[in-house]
Amino acid sequence: MSEKRQFFGTDGVRAVANRHPMTPEFVLRLGQAAAAVLGSRTEGGDRPRCIIGRDTRASGEMLESALIAGLNSAGVDVVLAGMVPTPAVAMLAAQTGANFGVVVSASHNPFEDNGIKFVHGNGRKLSDKTEIAIEKIVLGNTEEATRPEGRGIGRVSRMADSVERYVAHAVASMGGLRLDGMRVALDNAHGAASYTSALALEQLGADVQVFHSEPDGFNINEECGCTHSEELERLVRQSQAQAGIAHDGDADRIALCDEEAIALDGDELMAIAAESMLRKGTLKQNTLAVTIMSNYGLDDLVSRLGGRVIRTNVGDRYVLEEMHSRGLNLGGEQSGHIIFGDWATTGDGLIAGLQVLKIMKETGEPLSHLRKCLKKFPQAARNLRVRSKPPITELADAQKIIKETEKKLGDYGRVLLRYSGTESLIRLLIEGRDVEYLEAQADKIASAILAQIG
């Protein structure tokens, strides 16, 4: 059985700032451990180098300082990129030949939380195995590198043009196409995108109406950003924009809204991109990578166009691993982590938004029309309260009905059954083409489950 990670979750280490494990003491140790695993000296004997970026939360200053102390004490030179999106750190690490990059951010969480996430020097996220190796050193379960002294101690410098470099990279992803005459409502969630997204859109000629872009350290994600699609819909109506874009705190995610002020989810964005890329012949291996949460309407659309969809566990890192191992250039999550692999090594809210605006320009079609390419399969869902959580394979009567249902649905539907990680609930989702059949089967499976563990 594979080892479990103790501190790392699906996207780095995250907790309330100044509460374990997000304390300066722990972050200092985390920096030293990361240096031992990710930072090796060059052949010329130069000290390893790391790029650090952060979002706009007040606690970022404290945690960044602790991280610097940990890295410097382990002999790593630190280059501070300032307040920039997570994908900017990934891009800058790869562009400058750094050994690794670190982001101080808690993404879409409220301002009280903060987190640390790492990327390799090539801009890719760490594997579970690498994160476990770092944890072992933090916990003192393994030897760490000796601490340098004198000239071996790491130094700190600042990158003056980090924003400009990232914006130039995003603009280049448009291949020379401009957005003149397009009005875009932009919700920056008072996060890291406050310094980057409007600049890129303005350079491309768009008429940008900017909202929620006055970070004060405490207002990040507050009633705004990509987890508040109702606010983006309101902003699109207010500014009469042709499209709305919203980010989360570190801008690795995106929510889009059409000109009729109706938000799109990640599945719809991937459908629009996959259809465009399949028609142009630019979708590598004709394959789209998504998680098990994505709607089966995507499989239907992509297979009709001669492509295929592969699925991974929940978490953009698993999508990224699959994309890397198979050489794919499009993947993502329903939640809005969309990865355009030709331009990004991680979810990138700005690049994802620009690629969809580019398709609008190329086709002359509004978003409300483009989104119609995805015919979502109907779903029947049940959240059932349970008194115990035996292995799902032991729910004999329910399993029998599930097998019958899966056989009937064939390639055009599925049954998902999983326990909640935080509550005494089991979640059932059935997806297919016939609503009445789905509802009837959901009731049958639910009854069988409740008879056994309800």
Q: Are 331 and 290 in contact (CB under 8 A)?
A: yes
Residue 258: both structure tokens together: 């059409």
pLDDT at 1: 46
Main-chain phi, psi angles of 76, to 5 degrees: -105, 130
pTM of the model: 0.91
How many Å apart are CA 190 and CA 187, to the nearest integer?
Answer: 8
Residue 273: both structure tokens together: 């991109």
Residue 107 labeled ligand binder: yes
pLDDT at 411: 79
Residue 242: both structure tokens together: 């042709």
Q: DSSP H helical segments within 327-434, as ranges?
A: 349-363, 367-370, 396-409
Residue 356: both structure tokens together: 């969809």
Q: Are 151 and 173 in contact (CB under 8 A)?
A: no
Given the residues 105, 107, 294, 335, select the one marked as catalytic. 107
pLDDT at 101: 98
pLDDT at 283: 98
Q: Report pLDDT digits (tens) over 106-130.
A: 999 999 999 999 999 999 999 999 9
Residue 248 labeled ligand binder: yes
- What dihedral do alpha carbons 229, 232, 236, 237 form, nearest 10°? 70
- Each residue's pLDDT tens digit in the chain (454 positions)? 467 888 998 789 999 999 999 999 999 999 999 999 999 766 667 899 999 999 999 999 999 999 999 999 999 999 999 999 999 999 999 999 999 999 999 999 999 999 999 999 999 999 999 999 999 999 987 777 779 999 999 999 999 999 999 999 999 999 999 999 999 999 999 999 999 999 999 999 999 999 999 999 999 999 999 999 999 999 999 999 999 999 999 999 999 999 999 999 999 999 999 999 999 999 999 999 999 889 999 999 999 999 999 999 888 889 999 999 999 999 999 999 999 999 999 999 999 999 999 999 999 999 999 999 999 999 999 999 999 999 999 999 999 999 999 999 987 788 999 887 667 899 999 999 999 999 999 999 999 999 999 8
Residue 354: both structure tokens together: 């620009």
Whether 239 is catalytic: no
State the sign of the Cα–Cα–Cα–Cα dihedral 174, 321, 371, 250.
negative
* Spatial CB neighbours of 175, under 8 Å, sequence gap ≥ 6: 358
Q: In Å, how far are 280, 391, 442 from 417, measured between CA atoms?
A: 37, 11, 11
Place of tokens 């006055």: 214
